[in-house]
Amino acid sequence: MKRPLIRLAATAAVIGSLALAAGCSGEPVSFETPDASAPAGGRPVAPPPAKPGEPPVPATVLPTGPKAEFTTQNTVDDGTRIGVTTLEGRKSGFTGKVWVWAPPQYFEPRYAGSGFPVLIALPGGNGYPKNYWMGTDLKLQSSISRWSKEGKSLPFIVVMPVLNPDDKFYYDGSDIPGQEKMGTWMTEDVPDFVRANFRTFASRDGWAFMGSSSGAFVGLKSVLKHPDKFKAVIASGPDTVPDSPLWAGHEAEKAANNPEVLAKALSARPSSPATDVYLAFQIGTKESGLANLRSFIRNYGKGPVKTRLEVIRDGGHNARTYVKGMEDGSIQWISAHMQGPVPSS
């Protein structure tokens, strides 16, 4: 494996145990909110008119159903809750856990008719059977809650699916022939699940990834492969080429899931509001890979491929370093290029 995951994997094990030990009530939790303006679920709600000189606001899509049953995994400092459910992926055929958190603004009456941006957060390590971002000690959710009040971040819905179907192999978030369809799970089933249960935007302007290490690779690859669906990613300590041993004998499919191949093709196209993607790279000064990221940016950061690099002083290959980098600028950069909720008045 090219990804130095030992410390991230160990961190995941510790965080998982902490999360289960603290605040896990198992009580039902609901993310439903009143919406007086609602037509039938799944039908777009007409957006408010754009202000002069600003782009149009994407239409809000109300929850389509079927509704999932969530139980409380953890409670965040601000009183919001992280819920967990089991998702049976209709398109991938894979069944796995998904954790979700909605920011305080999601429950405010003034945003009852508005969509919210979605951040699909992926862990490093194997990311199975837990996604360590569902723990509260890394403070991802409480930080986003605070940053959104400070104007540093949009109030994202944070969605945390399992990354792999087992703890034996990496599947590179891809549909590797003969294996579980983890690419379809990540880019189709998980977004469909979010649209079924939450107010979202019809446009890709409301969809992004963030991830550490192996999860950063998956987020980066997903955005580059599906720029029509996702607009941005915060990729922390990522590889930029696929390296699962399960690709053996499937070189064409492997190339079709290679971020360098995908970025090269996309960067050759004209820049356009419909295809521009925003890649926020992060790396600590105590980890390897900086030269590779600079090479990636130099070679492919052109045309529709917009890039930013956050070098985190004294940072290592771990999730806490990457949350610091998000606060230092990465989350604000992608937020500036995405759509936030629109109040009713």
User: In what helix (H) or strand (E) does residue 83 lie, and over which residues does it extend?
Assistant: strand 81-88
**pLDDT of 37 strictly over 50:** no
Average pLDDT, the chain: 90
Q: What's the pLDDT band for 15 if we cut at 50, 70, 90?
A: very low
Q: What's the pLDDT band for 33 if we cut at 50, 70, 90?
A: confident
Residue 143 vs residue 344, higher pLDDT: 143
Q: What's the pLDDT band for 173 if we cut at 50, 70, 90?
A: very high
Give bridge partners of residue 211 from the DSSP assignment: 122, 235
- Give phi and psi for 41, each to the nearest 5: -55, 140
State pLDDT tens for residues 100-136.
999 999 999 999 999 999 999 999 999 999 999 999 9
- Is the CB of residue 159 less than 8 Å from the CB of residue 230? no
Q: What's the pLDDT band for 345 if we cut at 50, 70, 90?
A: low
Q: What's the pLDDT band for 188 if we cut at 50, 70, 90?
A: very high
Detail the DSSP E strand segments found in 89-180: 95-101, 118-122, 157-161
pLDDT of residue 50: 61
State pLDDT tens for residues 299-334.
999 999 999 999 999 999 999 999 999 999 999 999
CA separation, residue 187 to residues 79, 88, 233, 302 (Å): 30, 14, 13, 24
- Is the CB of residue 144 less than 8 Å from the CB of residue 138? no
Structural domains in the chain?
71-336 (3.40.50.1820)
User: In what helix (H) or strand (E) does residue 325 lie, and over which residues does it extend?
Assistant: helix 319-325
Mean pLDDT of 289-303: 98
Q: What's the pLDDT band for 167 if we cut at 50, 70, 90?
A: very high
pLDDT of residue 56: 74
The whole model's pTM is what?
0.91
Mean pLDDT of 215-230: 98
pLDDT of residue 334: 98
